[in-house]
Chain A
Amino acid sequence: MKQRRATAATRKAGKTESALLAELRGIGKSYDGGVTALRDISFPVRRGEFLSLLGASGCGKTTLLRILAGLLPPDTGTIRWQDGARPRETGFVFQEPALMPWASVAANIRLPLRLLGIDDRTATLRTREALAQSGLEKFGDAFPHELSGGMKMRASLARALIVKPRLLLMDEPFAALDEIARFKFNDELLALWREANCTVLFVTHSVFEAAYLSTRTLVLSPRPGTVAEEIRFLPAAGGVNAQFRTSATYASRVRKLSEALERAQ
């Protein structure tokens, strides 16, 4: 009851950073074999936040993200979207690039617009923009198998961003990349997030990524997946950038998350 009043208060606050986008209540999910994947998961998603879901492999992070996206119905619980439904402009970045091998890079990036029924002229324009933004302008006509792993992920990210997402769901998108590429993607993602002012839900098993990227982290415990702890970070004084990776603030964030992850096991 107390919680509900607090929700109403934040709604009144309007489009501040703390305004609610969605609220999950008592989400539970079991697999066909009877294994409980998620149990009683409740948390709010606030507009404009960078929310990481941190947990070991097999703790149901991906399942939770798919439930949030509406791809999987939960067995119990509800998701209340503040605007009535999940934003139409939702981007999803998967663990693998998941590009269509039969389609050019441009056609792959354009796919969401085609599925949403966006008119051809707008779609062509935005595809060109997206190619340029992601540094793939020379590869629009190339096919996925001609791209390197990093470039494939770049195309996958461009495909998620082409809808100008208000909500961006990411499922360990950079896990398969080498560290140098991952750092670069992390910085680019932060820049995009600040610029687009969208809400990001970022599933990861890396405390480093969660410490670097998020404004708030939910630490999940495994089998069944539940929210063990919530950790908020204040904006870093000097901003988050390459220097931040070696700062004491970053180190303390990593320690905090590592300890929380340890406790959650």
Chain B
Amino acid sequence: MKPRSFAPALVLFAVLMAAWEIAVRAFGIAPQVLPAPSLIVQTLAADAALLFGSLVVTLKITFVALAIAIGAGVALAVLFSSSRFAERALFPLAVVLQVTPVIAIAPLLLVYLEPANAVIACAALVAFFPILSNTALGLASADRQLRDLFALYDAGWLKTLVYLRLPASLPYFLGGLRIAGGLALIGAVVGEIAAGSAGAGSGLAWRIMEAGHRVNIPRMYAALVLIALAGVAIFALFSWLQRAALRRWHASAAEIA
């Protein structure tokens, strides 16, 4: 995306913020009902140590969960690509896990696992599916003529996987990763909220709940802003990674998935 294409969004954002600020001041709305943007920024600064500490906790959960999702998703996709039987047996199960809302699974996870692990499991569970399905699609996408070439020279399963199937799946995998990154954050937030005070109680979602109980509305907003920014940053990071990794490929490769 060109920098210029961000301009309309930035202008709209500035206008909305200004309208919000003016409305709050003009109508004298109490900060306990709706804090002005300026107050939210002030709260962010005042509670910085607390909130950024919590941000680190939530991001840690997100990335640990993402790493687990990548490991499990890619491993399972490789298994699917080499065994139709495994695919037929396991893929429906993966779909069931995917379509069941994670918020409904979270209480069970909290029964079986340590709260900290349950939160990570929640996040990993939602991030796992796009990695699995995209990578499986990518592994199967290897050019038929190239597959013939590998067969012609008796390249075994492993050589074909390493030199052909995995590289061919890269654009699909990166597309899946971009989706999974955002989902992992959502999963982390859902997990933290489900865990409540039973959890380590220091992530951003927990801060929102805690501030809510104390009717500290400005802090709720400040934490929310941080979560939103974290989501945007994660999406931007993986979009950049996708472009950087595929720059030398055919131009259309970057647009897959």
Contacts and interface: CB of A to CB of B under 8 A. Distances in A.
B148 A71 contact: yes
Contact of A112 (B153, B167, B168, B253): B153
Interface in A91-115: 92, 94-96, 98, 100-103, 111-112, 114-115
Interface stretch (B1-9, B14-22, B244-252): B244-252
Contact of B152 (A70, A100, A103): A70
Contacts of A102: 167-168, 170, 248-249
Contact of B145 (A90, A95, A103): A95
B152 A145 contact: no
Contact of A115 (B155, B248, B251, B253): B155
B142 to A, nearest CB: 9
Interface residues of B, number: 22
B152 A92 contact: yes
A164 interface: no
B250 A116 contact: no
B24 interface: no
Contacts of A250: none
Nearest to A90: B152
Nearest to B246: A102
| Residue among B149, B151, B155, B167 facing the most chain A CB atoms (10 A cut-off) | B149
Nearest to B245: A102
Contacts of B249: 101-102, 143, 145
B150 interface: yes
B217 interface: no
A144 interface: yes
Given A102-B249, A145-B251, A69 B150 contact: no
B250 A100 contact: no
Contact of A98 (B143, B151, B163, B170): B143
A94 B148 contact: yes
Contacts of B150: 115
A80 interface: no
A101 B164 contact: no
B25 interface: no
Given A71-B151, A112-B153, A114-B163, A101 B253 contact: yes
B248 A69 contact: no
A100 B167 contact: yes
B152 A101 contact: no
A69 B164 contact: no
A115 B159 contact: yes
Interface string B164-182: 1001101000000000000
B250 A145 contact: yes
Interface of B: 143, 145-146, 148-155, 159, 163-164, 167-168, 170, 248-251, 253
Given A112-B149, A144-B250, 17 more contacts: A69-B148, A71-B151, A71-B152, A92-B149, A95-B145, A98-B149, A102-B167, A102-B249, A103-B167, A112-B153, A115-B155, A115-B159, A116-B153, A116-B154, A143-B248, A143-B249, A145-B249
